[in-house]
Each structure stands twice: as structure tokens, then as C-alpha cells.
Structure 1
Amino acid sequence: MKVSDISDMWWKTAVFYNLNVGSYLDWNDDGTGDFEGLSHRLDYLGELGVTCLWLAPFYPSPRADNGYDIADYFGVDPRYGDLGDFVEVVRTAHERGMRVIVDLVVNHTSDAHPWFQSARQSRDSPYRDFYIWRDEPPEDQRASMFPDAEDGVWFYDEAAGQYYEHSFYRHQPDLNTANPKVREAIAKVIGFWLQIGVDGFRVDAVPFLIDNGGENEHEYLQAIRTFVGRRNGAGALLGEVNLPYDKQIAFFGDEDGDELTMQFDFVANQRLYLSLAREDAGPLVEALRARPQLARTNQWANFVRNHDELTLDQLSEDERNEVFEAFAPEESMRIHGRGIVRRLPPMLGGDPRWIRMVYSLTFSLPGAPVLYYGEEIGMGEHPTLPGRAAVRTPMQWADSPNGAFSGADADDLPHPLVSGGFSAEHINVSAQLHDPESMFHFVRQLVAAYAISPEIGWGDFEILPQPHACVLVHSLQGSMGRLIALHNFAPDGRKVTVTLDDTDESTRAIDLLGNETYLLDDGVLNVTLDGFGYRWIRIARTGDKRLL
């Protein structure tokens, strides 16, 4: 499947916003967020500038893993509403110019799924081969993704009389995606949600989806991409592939990019945190220079935080310990031996300059930015909640009971609200909407600057050499012009001056975030950055007619 129309490649310059419906807004005051509540906040997301809504799993589920343990692929969990409520959200989002993607979690099901319940009852069940069974687990079995929760990836099922494979938790048996019947069932799931109106999928744990040991395992991803293209020519596949670049690149497909549409850049994300810990741009610069060149039909997704732990598994043990010591000094802040269960603002001590520098950098990197709900107001985590739940607390809408998330009793909420300095009393949407200096308005400014800078999504990327180890300077050259972004990883007392002297025949430069215009002296511009300083500078040539 080849995409040729630029309008079909909307993901190249989209602003993604990920949320869990159950934690966003509870409209009927039963304690759980719902689709009706979300529908009443789409104008808020439109004001922020979101162009694509990414919904975490909302399907019927025991919710032993935040809904990623799916018991029915074709429904809506009654706690959130019904299918009609979902359709109304999609319709309303589309009317406001927002796309909608949903999670495609088909590397495993819940053990409560009817397929598995049938499979475990009899070896003659038509669903037995939907899963992977053995009489004895292999001696050389791979390690569990959750070594602090599971001692292996095979579990003995008494009813079935065999072991089944589970790459994640034992209540999430792996689907046998090498089975053509399983692939047919997955195609029905994809076709169902595309028919209802979604614009694509965030594909969960992609390497586990196609890890069947065959030589042609990527043909399955190609088949999925082709199927999505037939049903929706502009459909996106945003893949979760946490692998080194040399292995990750294969999941984009051939030179035309015929597998995943987009992938999260886990490498740059992890090196970002090492740079923050060292106050040195070097680790991130190294990652960005190693980024593979993508086909025109593909894109990177840049993020600061996501709904899981902040994984650091691609750093060396010494590097990971550096980040732990800087940002997760207590054992309770860590998980699985590789990750951090904190949001960015508390990690950075609530320093607004440092926090804003990180988001400015993320929006300026080549690719499409992905926000996790609450990032736009600087929400923190709940430090006493176990594991990943710490960063999945209810959205903080106002300084009122339950943060105006719900009128139910606090004990009925999915998780307690954040307390202390990052509580709704101090961090909430209502207050920030009326404060032009707030985090919300800063993120909205970034979104607006990103929207008028198509070179970030489409342009040629180059890291510009300069003498300061703490500074990252990169250039994005597009058909309409050039953007240069500068970011200082060093704190107060480390002011630096960067000289830009390769601006060709340019006569002026515009600071898109500071609303300043500079006249260039023979194509040379000196830019001073304070500690944690940042600039987005549009290099304008004579006759440039863009709205700057």
C-alpha cells in the first residue's frame, strides 16, 4: 500500500493526545470517567490544539492491566457508556477537526475472553489453537517483561492440562498470530472499528505481535497495513516498538514504508533523560544522529511521558543508575528494575523553566508530538499508588472536591487524586485557562508554533555544531523555509551564546516563541540562552510571505 496524497499523511504533522476515558471526566458521577464526560471536553482539547485523540483501551475488560486485558474486542465497557456514546465522541471530534485512533491490543487477550475460556476447556475447542500451548515449558524460555511480578512466560492451566505462553502477565495469554484463523479474527476487529469511524490504531507491543519465529513474520504487518489502507486510505498505524534503531527500523517496512506508519522514538526518549540528568545534550545528540532515515510515508512520534513506566531499558546499567539517582532516588519510584513511575514535573523539582525547555525541545524535534493527558497543565504522580497506577490518576479540572473529575465519593474513584504540591488545589485546568503565564498556555503556544512549522514534520534535519556541550542546536529545512531550534540543558549560571553563521541570504530571524525579530549582520546571528533557555528561530528570506 502506497500513500501519495499529502492530505492522506495527516500523521506527519499531527498533535496526539492520549487519555484513559475512565480517568478523564465522570459525567454521571458514578466514580468512573465516561464517554459522555469526554464529549464535553472535546472543545477544551480543540482549544489546546490537539489534532488526534488517542484513546486507551475502553473495551470490556477485568481491568487487571488498565484495560489492556481485553475480554471483548467489539464492545465498550459499560462503565464508560455504550457503543453509541463512543460513536458520538468520534463524530464530535471529527466535526472539530480531530482524528481519533484507538488501541489495537492483539498480541494477547484477557484470560476472561470467551476465546480463551473455550480453548482451556478442551483440546478439541475451535479456539484451542488461538493460543500457544505446551505440555512442558521450554528450558530456554525467555525472561518475563515483568520480572518482579512473573517468574516466567509459561503458566500451567489446570483446566487445560497444559502450559500456555504469556509474554506479559499470566492473566494475558498470548494469541497465536501465526494461525490464519487468528489473523482473520484480528482483521474483523480492525475492520469493525474502521467502519465505525476511527482513523487508525496505536498498535500495542508490536514485536510480540509478530514474534512467531518465521522468516516472513513482517509479512503480517504488511498485510495489516494493506488492509487498513483498503478500508481507510488515510488510516494510521502508530506502533509501540521499544528496540534499538537497527532493529526498530525493520518495523517500518521496505523503502516505501509498507508496515507501520509511525513509531514512538524510545531511543531518543531514554537518551533525553540521560541528558537531563547530566545537564549535557550529548547523549540525546548521539541518539538523534543515529536515527534512521525514514520513507516519506513514515514518521517518528516524540514524547516526554506515556501511560506506562518511563522505561530506561536501552540505557546501560551505569547510565540507568545515573537517571535513577537524579530523578528516582527512592526505590518506590522505580519499577521492573528498568523504569520510573513518575511524571516529569516532580522529577524536575517543579522548576517551570526546566519543564518548559523539555516540552519546547520535544515539539521541535523532527516528527509528531504525543501528549499524555495532564501534561499540558503539569500534573504530577501519586507517589503512594503501586506501579504504573501512580501516573494514571484522575484529571484535575478545578480546585474543588475530586478536582471536579467526579461528584462521587472519593472512595469510588478509579484512583485517588494526587495530593501535596501537585494536587488539584495547585494544579488544575480552570485556574490555568485564566492565567496567560500558565503551563497550559505555554503548551498551547508550542502547539500553535508547531502548526505553522511544517518543516518539523516534513523537513530535512541537521544538528548544527557549536562549542557548548550543554546545548542542542538543530535545523529543519523545508520547501518554504528553515527553522533552527536551540535548547540549553544547563541550569542557572550557565548562560551561553550560540553563533548562527550559515543563514545564507537571509535578512532577518523571527523567534516564534518569544515574538522577537532579529536583523542579521551579513547572515550572522548571535543568540544568548539563559539556563534552561530555548528558542525557535525562523530564518526568513526576502519575499517570505508566510504568517510568522
Structure 2
Amino acid sequence: MTKQWWKESVVYQIYPRSFNDSNGDGIGDLQGIIEKLDYLAELGIDVIWLSPVYDSPNDDNGYDIRDYRSIMNEFGSMEDFDVLLAEAHNRNIRIVMDLVVNHTSDEHSWFVESKSSKDNPKRDYYIWKDGKDGQPPTNWESAFSGSTWEYNEATGDYYLHIFSKKQPDLNWENDEVRSEVYDMMKWWLDKGIDGFRMDVVNFISKHPDYPNGEVQPGKQYGDGSPYFMNGPRIHEYLNEMNRQVLSNYDVMTVGEMPGVTPDEGKLYTADERNELNMVFHFEHMGVDGGEMGKWSLNGWNLTDLKEILSKWQYELEEEGWNSLYWNNHDQPRVVSRFGDDGEYRKKSAKMLGTCLHMMKGTPYIYQGEELGMTNVAFESIDQYEDLESLNMYNERVNQYGDDPAEVLERIHHKGRDNARTPMQWSAEENGGFTTGQPWLDVNPNYRTINAEEALSDEDSVFHYYKRLIQLRKENETIVYGKFDLLLEDSESIFAYTRTNGDETLLVLCNFTKEPVTAELGEFASRSGDVLITNREEERTEETQLGTVELEPFEATTFVLK
């Protein structure tokens, strides 16, 4: 196993719009991030993943880029970015930028030209197809509802947009497109950034025949994902990107890859293949899905969650590398999803942090996770901003006739705005996020859940995360040790070991609000010292590990003796 700085790092994702507003316009900005760098240094993180700050009309909150070499006015200027980069580096914090190159904004100059005429030099920068019998070229459904194809009056044909119609897909078959992307990447890397998180990068190669997708019962559109995920030339493109760009810099890369399997994950991340360092898979994020996909409210089983996470641990043991995450800007808050955001909020948040950070891989913390921030349940659909949620609401209520209250309940549990409510800095108005009107309402619980309170409380989720991060810097077993799952059939306990040479760590996590007993017969003759715990009642003597009593939502890591 090759040792690398990015394997030993902890990454903190910033969603700039919601992080910290320095000028009172209600929108987080670069100067706001600069103001909070000392907070991040105190937490101990090594890398900031900065969600898009490029110039954008903001149809999809910055993931629709109009100009890759400019900063969105709302966030500040390129001078502000340069200060942020320098100040972060002064604190030994690296910055990884979002790379969004499956699509651009429809306001990007390339697309403005591409749609103007069929003989424009930029015409083939995007994917254009003729319709069939007055219908779009395929029956594929957009990730944001509706067709993936939009008709263009000027040229009498359709362009592909897997996401919003204002996010046309780039044509990676075109050598000039790839060259433009690589030049842009070099421009940012030469500026001094430390890598890229690559947005839906496994979508950039499409099946050349563009077949129709399977239509599920009750659905209007077909599933095109088999034809635009992990396409036929994806490895060729990533290898070329690595050869021409990434291999010339000491950087970290992670590819966001919906629908990726562990076998494919190894192809993307194995050292000798020279593609990416790690991938984000979404398998565990679908563990509570169902007949309505992510919007189902079917509940989940711990055995399913363990099976998925341990599968990725085992499969990428010898080659490749895992990224570890519970949250990001597209997912609900983990303490509300897999923990208890009521009575046991702090304790279950610490348990979930332990469970994740003690696995093998690079951990990612999403802003506010270190505070135990929770989902929000806004009373009206008018309070939501997320395009995906709004489109789903309109489709289910207006097309399918669903009960608006029921649809809103689904958004309360699964909507992306759960992650995007502003960061809760203090008990001041709007959580100290802004002196103005926030672009998205702050979660009303900011008066009790906020950074100021957490910093002053030695027993807070923040201080617990700080200790988890510090342990990673002190203990190589946490980074490089072998993973082995225990108690795989338990619906209450997530237990595993990490082994590195003579050292073995035993991680026990109770996912329930009831006391439970971990029966570990194989360790009947062993005892352990506590490395880290969220337990309220102290263990007053050396713990015998054959039978371990766990409090509700307890997480304890032992060093075996």
C-alpha cells in the first residue's frame, strides 16, 4: 500500500453559498470563508473541498458554469480567491476545487455559439440529435425530471442535458472539447490549487448508439443511465486527463460516480491505471430508497448498510482507495437520517462520526456535520430553493395528483436543501450566517445548535470530531490498517476491527436508542484500552472484550491488549 498525503488527510466540504456571508447580502462568499479559516484550522482538517465558485447563472447553484476562469459575482472576485488560497496554505490547509465538465451552463459562450447554427465552429462542443417522429431522440429521463432533450428552434434539433435544460452536456468525443478542459484544469493547478472533485465524471462518455432506456411501471420516461454512466471511452478519457494534466502535479482527485460498482471503482483508482485517486459511490446513500427512488420513505436496515460499506472496504483493500462520507450538499443530514436528531442528537452524531472515520479511506466532513446539524422541515414548498425538490413536488402534485403534505414530507426527509440551510455559527439572528436576509431560511434550531455553543462545550460534537481527526494523524492503523467486519447479522451493532502489524483496533457502534450487548467470543481472552468513546458512564477498569455492554448510540474504539 503506497503511502500518500491524501490518504492521511481529512477533507471538509464547503458549500460557499451557505457557509458564511461577509457583506450582508444573504449569500455566503469567499471573504466569509477566509473569516472562518481559523475555525477550520482549530477543527484540524487538512483539505477544503470547495463547491463551485465559478461564474454561473445559478440554475443549479453553481453547477451550471458560464465561465470557468471567473468567480461568481455573489462570491467575490478572483483576487478574493487568491487570498483564500494563500491564507488556507498558510494554515497548512489545501484546497480542492469542483471540476464540472460533464456539462456547462447554456449561457456559456461555447453553447451560445453551438446552438446558433449547424455550421458554427463550436457546434460539436455539445451533443445534438434529430428527433424521431416529432419526439425527442431518446426516452431518457432527466435527473431533474422531464426529458433529457431540449428542442432548439434555430437549428431544428435537440441537445442533450442529463440535468437541467440549462445544463447542456459537453461532447467529449470532440478532441477540441477535451483540450479546452485540460487547458482550464492546468490554469487552475498552476494557480496553486491542490486537486479536483470531479462532478458526475463517469457520465462524460455516452453510448454511441443512444438507445432508449427501460420504462418502469408508472413512469413516463425511460432510464438512460446504462448508456451514459461508465460509458465505453470513460477510462480512455480519464487516462488521457491524467497523462496530460494530473500526473504533472502533486494533487488529490476524487470522482463523483453515481452507479459505480467496487470492481469499476478499482479500475478508476488503482495506482497502476493512472486515472483518479478515489471515487464517491452512492450505494450506501440508496440504502433507504425504494419504489420512488431517493424519495421513498421505506426506512433502512443496519445489515444492508454494513453489507454495502464493508463490501467497498474489502474490494478496495489491495488496490484503489475509498472515500468515506455520510453527508454532502446533495444528501440529507446524517444525524437525522441514520442517527437520532432528538434526545440523542449529540451522542448519535459522535457515534456516526466514529463509525465512518475509523474505516479505511479518506474521510469527508460536510459543513455543519461537526456540529451535529439536522434536517429542516419547512412548512411550505415556497421556502425551498432546490431545483430537484421543486420539480419533484410539481410533478407529483400536478401530474400524479399526490397529496401535497405527503410530498412535502418526502422533501423534509430527503431534499437537498437539508444540507444547504446556512451554517449555524451562533445563537444570533440567522445563526450568525448573515446580517441580511439569507438566500435560504436558516434551520430554526440554530439557537441551540451552533458553532459558538459547540466550541465552548468540551463535550460537543465539534470537540469529538477534532479528536477523531487528531487520532488519524497519530495512528497509522486508522489510515492503513486492514478492515474486518464483525457481527454482520446484528441489526443493532456495527462492529469491525482495523489491523496493522501487531496493533488491532476494535470499533463498536450501537445504532439504536436501546442498551445492547456485543458478544465477541473470538475476543473472550482479550482486553482493551479505550482509544476514543462517546460513552457517558466511564469504564473504570480494563475492559474484557468477550462481552461488551453498550449504551444507547455508544461508539467506543478499543486498542486490543
Task: Determine the structure 2 residue equivalent to 1:239.
Answer: 255
Q: Which moved more, 1:202-211 or 1:97-106?
A: 202-211
Task: Determine the structure 2 residue equivalent to 1:529.
Answer: 550
Task: Determine the structure 2 residue equivalent to 1:364.
Answer: 358
Letter matched to residue 531 of structure 2: D
Cα separation, partners in 2 of 1:18 and 1:122, compared to 1, 3 Å: same
Correspondence for 1:383 among 354, 377, 397: 377
Task: Determine the structure 2 residue equivalent to 1:457.
Answer: 479
Correspondence for 2:333 among 338, 343, 351: 343
Letter matched to residue 170 of structure 1: K
Cα separation, partners in 2 of 1:372 and 1:168, compared to 1, 3 Å: same
Matched residue of 1:73: which SS?
strand
Checking the alignment, whether the CA contact within 8 Å between 1:69 and 1:172 is kept in structure 2 is yes
Letter matched to residue 364 of structure 1: M
- Superposition deviation, residue 404 in structure 1: 1.6
2:430 corresponds to 1:430: no
Task: Determine the structure 2 residue equivalent to 1:144.
Answer: 141
Checking the alignment, whether the CA contact within 8 Å between 1:268 and 1:288 is kept in structure 2 is yes
- Superposition deviation, residue 518 in structure 1: 5.8
Matched residue of 1:156: which SS?
strand
- Superposition deviation, residue 445 in structure 1: 2.3
- Superposition deviation, residue 111 in structure 1: 0.3
Task: Determine the structure 1 residue equivalent to 2:320.
Answer: 298
Cα separation, partners in 2 of 1:272 and 1:81, compared to 1, 3 Å: same
Matched residue of 2:283: which SS?
helix
2:437 corresponds to 1:415: no
Checking the alignment, whether the CA contact within 8 Å between 1:305 and 1:344 is kept in structure 2 is yes
Task: Determine the structure 1 residue equivalent to 2:407.
Answer: none
Correspondence for 1:442 among 464, 473, 484: 464
Q: Deviation digits for residues 258-314 of structure 1, max 9, x if unmatched?
A: 22211124223444899x987853112322343253376732111112111x3xxxx
Instruction: Give the alignment of 1:204-219 within 5 angstroms.
Output: 204-213=199-208, 215-219=232-236
Cα separation, partners in 2 of 1:89 and 1:58, compared to 1, 3 Å: same
Correspondence for 2:8 among 13, 31, 35: 13
Q: Deviation digits for residues 390-439 of structure 1, max 9, x if unmatched?
A: 4312211111122221222x2xx2212122xx2x2121111111111222
Letter matched to residue 260 of structure 1: L
Checking the alignment, whether the CA contact within 8 Å between 2:431 and 2:450 is kept in structure 1 is yes
Q: Which moved more, 1:249-258 or 1:448-457?
A: 249-258
- Superposition deviation, residue 526 in structure 1: 3.7
- Superposition deviation, residue 441 in structure 1: 1.7
Checking the alignment, whether the CA contact within 8 Å between 2:349 and 2:461 is kept in structure 1 is no
Root mean square deviation of aligned Cα: 2.8
Checking the alignment, whether the CA contact within 8 Å between 1:280 and 1:470 is kept in structure 2 is no
Checking the alignment, whether the CA contact within 8 Å between 1:25 and 1:34 is kept in structure 2 is yes
Checking the alignment, whether the CA contact within 8 Å between 2:255 and 2:278 is kept in structure 1 is yes
Q: Which moved more, 1:435-444 or 1:261-270?
A: 261-270
Cα separation, partners in 2 of 1:184 and 1:144, compared to 1, 3 Å: same
Q: Give the Cα separation in 2 of the matches to 1:452 and 1:503.
A: 28
- Superposition deviation, residue 226 in structure 1: 2.6
Checking the alignment, whether the CA contact within 8 Å between 2:528 and 2:558 is kept in structure 1 is no
- Superposition deviation, residue 480 in structure 1: 6.3
Q: Give the Cα separation in 2 of the matches to 1:289 and 1:442.
A: 24
Cα separation, partners in 2 of 1:469 and 1:21, compared to 1, 3 Å: closer
- Superposition deviation, residue 463 in structure 1: 1.1
Q: Give the Cα separation in 2 of the matches to 1:212 and 1:86.
A: 38
Question: How many residues are matched?
Answer: 489
Cα separation, partners in 2 of 1:537 and 1:142, compared to 1, 3 Å: farther
- Superposition deviation, residue 117 in structure 1: 0.5
Letter matched to residue 415 of structure 1: L
Q: Unpaired runs of 5+ in structure 2?
A: 209-230, 291-296, 390-415
Checking the alignment, whether the CA contact within 8 Å between 2:303 and 2:489 is kept in structure 1 is no
Task: Determine the structure 2 residue equivalent to 1:336.
Answer: none
Checking the alignment, whether the CA contact within 8 Å between 2:182 and 2:241 is kept in structure 1 is yes
Checking the alignment, whether the CA contact within 8 Å between 1:58 and 1:80 is kept in structure 2 is yes
Cα separation, partners in 2 of 1:500 and 1:40, compared to 1, 3 Å: farther
- Superposition deviation, residue 245 in structure 1: 2.0
Task: Determine the structure 1 residue equivalent to 2:302.
Answer: 281
Q: Give the Cα separation in 2 of the matches to 1:273 and 1:363.
A: 24
Q: Give the Cα separation in 1 of the matches to 2:433 and 2:66.
A: 27
Q: Give the Cα separation in 2 of the matches to 1:90 and 1:263.
A: 24
Checking the alignment, whether the CA contact within 8 Å between 1:116 and 1:127 is kept in structure 2 is yes
Checking the alignment, whether the CA contact within 8 Å between 1:256 and 1:297 is kept in structure 2 is no
Matched residue of 1:12: which SS?
coil
Cα separation, partners in 2 of 1:251 and 1:204, compared to 1, 3 Å: farther
2:239 corresponds to 1:222: yes
Q: Which moved more, 1:459-468 or 1:424-433?
A: 459-468
Q: Give the Cα separation in 2 of the matches to 1:432 and 1:59.
A: 32
Q: Which moved more, 1:174-183 or 1:445-454?
A: 445-454
Q: Give the Cα separation in 1 of the matches to 2:462 and 2:428.
A: 19
Q: Which moved more, 1:69-78 or 1:23-32?
A: 23-32
Q: Give the Cα separation in 1 of the matches to 2:271 and 2:278.
A: 14
2:426 corresponds to 1:398: yes
Cα separation, partners in 2 of 1:446 and 1:271, compared to 1, 3 Å: farther
TM-score (norm 1): 0.82
Q: Give the Cα separation in 2 of the matches to 1:476 and 1:256.
A: 25
Q: Give the Cα separation in 2 of the matches to 1:152 and 1:250.
A: 32
Q: Give the Cα separation in 2 of the matches to 1:238 and 1:31.
A: 31
Checking the alignment, whether the CA contact within 8 Å between 1:399 and 1:425 is kept in structure 2 is yes
Cα separation, partners in 2 of 1:285 and 1:344, compared to 1, 3 Å: closer
Checking the alignment, whether the CA contact within 8 Å between 2:303 and 2:490 is kept in structure 1 is no
Task: Determine the structure 2 residue equivalent to 1:268.
Answer: 284
Matched residue of 2:364: which SS?
strand
Task: Determine the structure 2 residue equivalent to 1:78.
Answer: 73
2:550 corresponds to 1:511: no
Q: Give the Cα separation in 2 of the matches to 1:499 and 1:5.
A: 32
- Superposition deviation, residue 131 in structure 1: 0.4
Matched residue of 2:509: which SS?
strand
Q: Unpaired runs of 5+ in structure 1?
A: 311-341, 541-548
Cα separation, partners in 2 of 1:298 and 1:518, compared to 1, 3 Å: farther
Checking the alignment, whether the CA contact within 8 Å between 1:144 and 1:168 is kept in structure 2 is no
Q: Deviation digits for residues 337-373 of structure 1, max 9, x if unmatched?
A: xxxxx42344434222333322221112221211111
TM-score (norm 2): 0.80
Task: Determine the structure 2 residue equivalent to 1:195.
Answer: 190
Q: Give the Cα separation in 1 of the matches to 2:43 and 2:546.
A: 32
Checking the alignment, whether the CA contact within 8 Å between 2:348 and 2:553 is kept in structure 1 is yes
Task: Determine the structure 1 residue equivalent to 2:37.
Answer: 42
2:37 corresponds to 1:68: no
Q: Give the Cα separation in 2 of the matches to 1:159 and 1:139.
A: 16
2:275 corresponds to 1:259: yes
Q: Give the Cα separation in 1 of the matches to 2:441 and 2:527.
A: 55
Matched residue of 1:88: which SS?
helix
Task: Determine the structure 1 residue equivalent to 2:228.
Answer: none
Matched residue of 2:276: which SS?
coil
Matched residue of 1:243: which SS?
coil
Cα separation, partners in 2 of 1:451 and 1:254, compared to 1, 3 Å: closer
- Superposition deviation, residue 256 in structure 1: 2.4
Q: Give the Cα separation in 2 of the matches to 1:259 and 1:130.
A: 23
Q: Give the Cα separation in 2 of the matches to 1:414 and 1:251.
A: 41
Checking the alignment, whether the CA contact within 8 Å between 2:492 and 2:516 is kept in structure 1 is no
